[in-house]
Structure 1
Amino acid sequence: MRFRTIMIFPEFENIDVINDIRKKYDPLADLVLPHITLVFPFDSELTNEELNLHLKECLSDIQPFKMELEGFSKQINNYGNYLLLNVVQGIDEIKNIHDRLYKGRLKQFDAGYDYVPHMTVGNLSSIDLLNKAFDDVNKCNDIFSTVVKKISVEMIGDNEESIIIIEHELNG
């Protein structure tokens, strides 16, 4: 079985600004579209049909919602030196979806971390490079607004590429 992930792939009018930042600072920029991860990569025997049913059950009453991203932050952990675009509107809705998806069939994959919705726009090889990238992106004053209408499941391919396998429309 291949790793799968559950994400929001937002559609912004000014997405080219995010794409330009990611091309400079995110090694995955050419492999996966800008996204907000809801369920982190997991390896499971669940079929795609069972996973789709899980989404339907967990998200049956979730309405489309407004989301806004603005401003940047840094996160340094065991996995890398990350440059993040902050979610400033829609945080509660995203956390609710995250929490619901990690119940039931996916409960075993919940690592118990404090979940803070964000979009990763960079992963730098050193803290010094992260600080330089952070200074660079802070010149960007754009606000990224959209209405989230669907939740997607991707399969991670052999070359780390994103293969969308399920799209669940939010309609409450």
Structure 2
Amino acid sequence: MSVRTIMIFPEFRNENVINDIRKKYDPLVDLVLPHITLVFPFDSDLSNKELSLHLKECLSGIKEFSIELEGFSKREDEYGNYLFLNVVQGEDIIKNIHHKLYKGKLKQFNNVNDYAPHMTVGKLSSTELLYEAYDYVSECNEKFSTVVKKISVEVIGEQEESIIIIEQELNG
């Protein structure tokens, strides 16, 4: 069994801004590219072929779509102190994909009640550091726009690195 995650890896013209923020605040910056998580890490004995078929079925009828990220938010929960880059366009489509993927074969892994699409750009060790990071990034007025053309499945490697194993094109 292997821990896998389903994500969007958007590519932005001004991605260097995101990477600069992540270098400062995200311990995973060197392990995984900037991403929007659709299905959170799950450990399953589903084969990659079965997972690929599930992805294909769930994404049937979904075409490429535009997204825009802008502005930041912070979240403190039992998993840590997080700094998010907010999705401001394409949110409904991302939520729809999230809900479709958690049906059927992945239903048992859905423990997310209030899914809000975002890109994590920081995980801080304390609330105080989170608020300092939030103050810093709040001065960033950049907008990040792109077209999502595919959904990816990664395996989380032994060193927490991201290894892409499946890519499903969106072509409706």
| TM-score of the pair, normalised by structure 2 | 0.99
Question: Counterparts of 2:112 and 2:81 in 1: how far apart (Å)?
Answer: 21
TM superposition shift of 1:2: 1.4
- Secondary structure of 2:44's partner? coil
Question: Counterparts of 2:164 and 2:113 in 1: how far apart (Å)?
Answer: 25
For the Cα contact (< 8 Å) 2:3–2:43, is it kept in 1? yes
Q: How does 1:75-114 map to 2 (within 5 A)?
A: 75-114=75-114
Aligned AA (1:113)? N
Question: Counterparts of 1:15 and 1:71 in 2: how far apart (Å)?
Answer: 14
Question: Counterparts of 2:114 and 2:141 in 1: how far apart (Å)?
Answer: 27
Aligned to 1:46: 46
Aligned to 1:152: 152
Aligned to 2:9: 9
Aligned AA (1:122)? G
Which portions of structure 1, spanning 4 or more consecutive aligned residues, are displaced by more than 6 angstroms?
none
TM superposition shift of 1:139: 1.2
Question: Counterparts of 2:144 and 2:19 in 1: how far apart (Å)?
Answer: 12
TM superposition shift of 1:113: 1.8
Aligned AA (1:155)? V
TM superposition shift of 1:112: 3.8
Residue 166 in structure 1 maps to residue 137 in structure 2: no
Q: How does 1:17-96 map to 2 (within 5 A)?
A: 17-96=17-96
Aligned AA (1:53)? L
For the Cα contact (< 8 Å) 2:68–2:146, is it kept in 1? yes
Among all aligned residue pairs of Structure 1 and Structure 2, give the percentage whose two residues are the same amino acid: 74
Question: Counterparts of 2:80 and 2:108 in 1: how far apart (Å)?
Answer: 24
Question: Counterparts of 1:101 and 1:112 in 2: how far apart (Å)?
Answer: 13
- Secondary structure of 2:131's partner? helix
Paired positions, count: 172
Question: Counterparts of 2:133 and 2:24 in 1: how far apart (Å)?
Answer: 9
Question: Counterparts of 1:162 and 1:135 in 2: how far apart (Å)?
Answer: 29
- Secondary structure of 2:73's partner? strand
